[in-house]
Copies of this chain bind each other. A is one copy, B any other.
Amino acid sequence: MSETFSPVLPTLRDVARHAEVSLATADRVVNRRPGVRPATIKRVEAAVRALGFERHAGAAALARRESFRAVALLPLGTNPFIERLADELVAAARLEGLRRLDLAVRRAERFDPESLASAIRAAAAEGRGVIAVGLDDPAVLAAIDAAAEAGLPVVTLVSDVPGSGRRHYVGIDNRAAGRVAASLLGRFAKAGPGEVLVLLGSLSLSDHRDRLDGFREALGERFPDLAVRWIVEGHDDAERAEAAVAAVLRTGPAPAAVYSAGAGASGLVAALAATGVEAAVVAHELTCETRPLLLSGALDALIVQDPGHEARSAVRVLMAALTGGAVSEDQERIRIEILLPDNLPK
């Protein structure tokens, strides 16, 4: 109860003094640099333990002069989630990059694998690392593997490129997100048998496909009354989504529930409204597009990933790869958040 304040943390200088070596030698040991006699290493490590030394990351970053340039590749289009991600990446490069990362944010056509692949190649030629929203396609995979083989770390963001040599994937577990959508819609839809419509950007996007897989799986396990009947591709664009959904609604019975696994929820909502369909609806991401829809009740819930966290995580992971630092998998896990009107951030 009456423990007192902890002492000031020891510095590397204290460690050096304690081990009776110079600052430089202590530094070598602490940073596992070569050229130190084993006996000396032991002494320094003992001092580190004895004093409870912890490297001051800020000071280290300041002293280390090298800085890196890298490129982030985001999909083109009018998707506000992506806009937000772009801003967050710029901010994160400054903060998490400790001012040592010079990150250029570019756009590439998301639904065209060749264009993304060549953007990755260009990025690899210019910078020392790449962050990219992935696409599950052989050309893209090849471009990533080429960069990886050349020693450039590639971090996939939001959507992974499975099987590629990317250093890390930063984003939610999309299968799990699909399961969450099923759990919510299963409870929100009226009781009794019903059919479900799923809207997604494209089946070639691994994140959307994973969501669909998880969704179907959980629906089958826990809500066998509901079955996916329509799968509509809207190319993450509100207008195209509206047209595609409207076409489906005109021809068949009304769905009991709708899962928007990609972007373009406002188009979906418009199509539902136009045909007077009353279904439980769950969509993804909190943006200027989806926020009013959740508040008005047009959407029943939103499944979101925090673009700020994702951007910071991507930058941290990239910096770790660039500087040889460690990443704690655990800390970099991106949460799947559920938003109702009641817990919508201001």
Contacts and interface: CB of A to CB of B under 8 A. Distances in A.
Given A8-B102, A188-B187, A59 B56 contact: no
Contacts of A59: 58, 62
A180 B343 contact: yes
A104 B99 CA distance: 32
A13 interface: no
A99 B99 CA distance: 19
A336 interface: yes
A183 B341 CA distance: 9
A340 B99 CA distance: 38
A6 interface: yes
A34 interface: no
Chain A interface main SS type: mixed
A5 B340 CA distance: 40
Contacts of A103: 5
A86 to B, nearest CB: 12
A98 interface: yes
A121 interface: no
A179 interface: yes
Given A62-B62, A177-B343, A338 B338 contact: yes
Contacts of A102: 5-6, 8
A340 B338 contact: yes
Contact of A179 (B62, B94, B338, B342): B342
B343 A3 contact: no
Interface string A179-193: 110111001100100
Contact of A107 (B1, B8, B106, B346): B1
Interface in A100-136: 102-104, 106-107, 127
B183 A342 contact: yes
A4 interface: yes
A61 interface: yes
B335 A176 contact: no
Contacts of A199: none
A22 interface: no
A133 to B, nearest CB: 16
A94 to B, nearest CB: 8
Contacts of A188: 187
A9 interface: yes
Interface string A301-334: 0000000000000000000000000000010010
Given A330-B346, A335-B337, 12 more contacts: A5-B69, A5-B102, A8-B67, A8-B102, A9-B99, A58-B61, A177-B343, A180-B340, A183-B340, A184-B340, A336-B342, A338-B339
Lowest 3 A-B CB distances belong to which pairs? A336-B343, A58-B58, A179-B342
